[in-house]
Chain A
Amino acid sequence: MALLSKKDTNLILDPLADNNPITIQVLGICSALAITAELKASVVMALAVIFVLGLGNVVISLMRNIIPSKIRIIVQLIVVATLVIIVDQVLKAFAYELSKTLAVFVGLIITNCIIMGRFEAFALGNGPWRSFLDGIGNALGYGVILVIVGFFRELLGSGTLFGYPVFGDPIAKTGLYSTGYENNGFMIIPPAALIVVGIIIWVQRSRNPDLVEEN
């Protein structure tokens, strides 16, 4: 017997591709623009969202039958805020520099539309195990895009990956820089993330025309 049924597998795989929260539902764009200038920050952000969304979905799902529907948004906010504060404190304790880079955006996970969206759309109507898979799947879909964008932005913008120089030293003009290559300052600024996400959307939709919206 397989660990996951086909239906459960789709919960994880769908958001990775054909129902990606960023490229198809176009949610969570703000953080995708803000923190993807470095690959490291993208990865940490992705992990943080996986933690918050996976656990948050389980908690909401367990409480779904006792939450009065009139105040459910507040309950959801409290759950997500608690989890975000845990993430924030852990980062501050063990990766202080990184938490300064991510700055307010860890706190802003609370307002990430993907999280509230999954709470509302899935966790309130499904059991804990499936909610957990759904949360992990959506957070992974979000994380994959973040990492792709972060990869290109850091590589082209700073010439590094995870802070490790790939092309050589831009100041001493070694490696690729000796041929006259220069880092692309445009990739550092947030509009570049929008364009990279746009290109991903373009590629994805031309590979799978079913995703293209009517008109």
Chain B
Amino acid sequence: MSDKRLTFKKRLHILKHRYRDKKMAPAFNAFHTFLFSPDETTHNGSHVRAVDDLKRTMNTVIMALVPVLIFSMFNAGYQHYSAINGFPQEFSVTEHFLTWDNFWIGVVKVLPLLVISYGVGLLVEFIFAVIKGHEVEEGYLVTGMLVPLIVPIDTPLWMLAVAVVFGVVIGKEVFGGTGMNILNPALTIRAFLFFAYPTWMSGDKVWVHGARERADQIAEGATNVDAISGETVLGFLAQNKGAEMSYSTWDAFWGFIPGSVGETPTFLILLGGLFLIFSKIASWRIMLSAVLGSLFMGLIFNQVVEMGWITETSKFYGLMSYEFWKHLLVGGLAFGIVYMATDPVTGAQTNRGKWIYGFLIGFMSVMIRVFNPAYPEGVFLAILLMNVFAPTIDHYVVRGNIKRRMKRLKNAVVLPKDSDQEAKELKAETV
């Protein structure tokens, strides 16, 4: 066994050296360093070895996503069968949720999304690496995992492939690849899908596997099937029907509700978020401020209802009267805050900037949700918008720091008025 592996490693090693100066070198390098530790050492100069290189960072995020992925595979089946047979009266996790039938639906519907996402995305990365002659970048490892988790379960694979090509090329590669992108590539992909194929991305027929297929069959005149619908909590509230919702708050917390593939299990997302905070991969400032922002906006809306400015006849009543903290449990808000808003490339970099950036993400997510029922999922729009503003926020935070320090410095020392050169040097130092 170990012999075989050694030969494979050796073979790869030989290939890598044979192709060292050829066009395909990045491809072999990428495979080599992905599977094995590099066989080269730095020969000169002092260098710092840090354990958290880009690959380690990416892998940590993927680890935080794996529980969500596994849950979502079970949930895919659970939602499918519950929509057909009715929700179980006395729900037990082992009997109704962790079953092979449920998991099989997940294998059939969720895994292909994952495979397509990684396959197409990495292919684009490889092509760009070979053309531009640089190493294959690890940036897609997380994006590829996020993408299947934020799309509806029945998204056709070719649509996903088209969107991934668009997202990676236009969202990332044109800006210069990993680390240079302005927008989060996973959300670019989601946004492209949303605007390109809205009928597959919103409504009440896309969130549960089979719902759309059945609707089509019934439209064609089939009488032997019942329509199944899987409305998301937000979709239900946006319609303002006033009736009691069939999902409890605990359902929403554990994640037994319909929604995009992996956005529902708030509990597991919370665990993933804590894991990312303790491994110091993601910023707790962004997460906390985003939560505060959404709670703040939710409180404002609750207050508006309380004051009687919005009555039950208003189309905003359903979402506005939704208790403020429950916004965190439904839709993609928790998922977006933990895994998307904290993207170190597209988020704000300065500490004070992170507070502002996160707060506005939470604030706007809830605002878009409530005010635009056509986009009940405002989270991705809010994060993309703040991605665009993040550099501006940082700019002003840094400028503010410089100003404050200059002021402090001016009070501390008297600048010689006749020597501009000295003042300039002093300024350069403080910057």
Nearest neighbor of B200 in chain A, beta-carbon distance: A182
Q: A180: which B residues are within 8 A, CB to CB? A: 156, 158
| A212 touches B (CB below 8 Å) | no
Q: Identify the stretch in A2-10, A14-22, A184-192 within 8 Å (CB) of chain B at 4 or more residues.
A: A184-192
Cβ contact of B196, chosen from A181, A184, A198, A202, cutoff 8 A: A184
Cβ contact of A195, chosen from B159, B170, B197, B200, cutoff 8 A: B170
Q: Is the CB of B197 within 8 A of A182?
A: yes
Tell me the bound Cα distance from A184 to B195 in angstroms.
8
Q: B200: which A residues are within 8 A, CB to CB? A: 182
CB distance from A174 to the nearest CB of B (A): 15
Tell me the bound Cα distance from A195 to B162 in angstroms.
15
| B344 touches A (CB below 8 Å) | no
Tell me the bound Cα distance from A44 to B174 in angstroms.
32
Q: Is the CB of B195 within 8 A of A202?
A: no
Q: Is the CB of A184 within 8 A of B158?
A: no
Summed over the interface, the residue pairs from A and B with CB atoms below 8 Å come to a total of 23
Q: Is the CB of B198 within 8 A of A185?
A: yes
Q: Is the CB of B158 within 8 A of A185?
A: no
Tell me the bound Cα distance from A182 to B197 in angstroms.
8
Q: Is the CB of B174 within 8 A of A182?
A: no
Nearest neighbor of B170 in chain A, beta-carbon distance: A195
Instruction: Given A180-B156, A180-B158, answer yes or no on A185-B174 (Cβ-Cβ < 8 Å).
Output: no
Tell me the bound Cα distance from A213 to B158 in angstroms.
37
CB distance from B190 to the nearest CB of A (A): 12
Q: Is the CB of B170 within 8 A of A184?
A: no
| B322 touches A (CB below 8 Å) | no
- Chain B's interface: helix, strand, loop or mixed, by majority? helix
Query: Which A184-215 residues have a C-beta within 8 angstroms of B?
Result: 184-187, 189, 195, 198, 202
Q: Is the CB of A185 within 8 A of B196?
A: yes
Tell me the bound Cα distance from A198 to B162 in angstroms.
18
Cβ contact of A184, chosen from B156, B197, B199, cutoff 8 A: B197
Tell me the bound Cα distance from A187 to B192 in angstroms.
10
Q: Is the CB of B170 within 8 A of A185?
A: no
Query: Which B159-200 residues have a C-beta within 8 angstroms of A?
Result: 159, 162, 170, 174, 192, 195-200
Q: Is the CB of B158 within 8 A of A186?
A: no
Q: Is the CB of A185 within 8 A of B156?
A: no
The tally of residues in A whose CB lies under 8 Å from a CB in B reads 11
Q: Is the CB of A186 within 8 A of B192?
A: yes
Q: A189: which B residues are within 8 A, CB to CB? A: 195
Q: B199: which A residues are within 8 A, CB to CB? A: 182
Q: B156: which A residues are within 8 A, CB to CB? A: 180
Looking at A180, A184, A186, A187, which has the most chain B CB atoms within 10 Å of its CB? A186
Q: A186: which B residues are within 8 A, CB to CB? A: 192, 195-196
Tell me the bound Cα distance from A78 to B170 in angstroms.
42
CB distance from A137 to the nearest CB of B (A): 29
Nearest neighbor of B191 in chain A, beta-carbon distance: A186
CB distance from A198 to the nearest CB of B (A): 8
Q: Is the CB of A185 within 8 A of B195?
A: yes
CB distance from B205 to the nearest CB of A (A): 15
CB distance from B316 to the nearest CB of A (A): 25
Tell me the bound Cα distance from A182 to B158 in angstroms.
10
Tell me the bound Cα distance from A45 to B264 in angstroms.
49
Q: A187: which B residues are within 8 A, CB to CB? A: 196
CB distance from B223 to the nearest CB of A (A): 21
Nearest neighbor of B159 in chain A, beta-carbon distance: A182
Q: A181: which B residues are within 8 A, CB to CB? A: 158
Nearest neighbor of B199 in chain A, beta-carbon distance: A182
Tell me the bound Cα distance from A187 to B158 in angstroms.
17
Tell me the bound Cα distance from A209 to B198 in angstroms.
39
Q: B198: which A residues are within 8 A, CB to CB? A: 185
Nearest neighbor of B131 in chain A, beta-carbon distance: A206
Q: Is the CB of A202 within 8 A of B174?
A: yes
CB distance from B177 to the nearest CB of A (A): 14
Tell me the bound Cα distance from A1 to B159 in angstroms.
57
Q: B195: which A residues are within 8 A, CB to CB? A: 185-186, 189
Q: B158: which A residues are within 8 A, CB to CB? A: 180-181
Binding site for A on B (CB under 8 A): 156, 158-159, 162, 170, 174, 192, 195-200
Can you identify 5 A-B contacts, CB atoms within 8 angstroms? A182-B197, A182-B199, A184-B162, A185-B196, A186-B195
Query: Would you list the 10 A-B pairs with minimal beta carbon distance, nearest first?
Result: A186-B196, A186-B195, A184-B196, A185-B196, A182-B197, A185-B198, A180-B156, A185-B195, A186-B192, A195-B170
With A182-B159, A185-B196 already in contact, 12 other A-B pairs whose C-beta atoms are closer than 8 Å: A181-B158, A182-B200, A184-B196, A184-B197, A185-B195, A185-B197, A186-B195, A189-B195, A195-B170, A198-B170, A198-B174, A202-B174
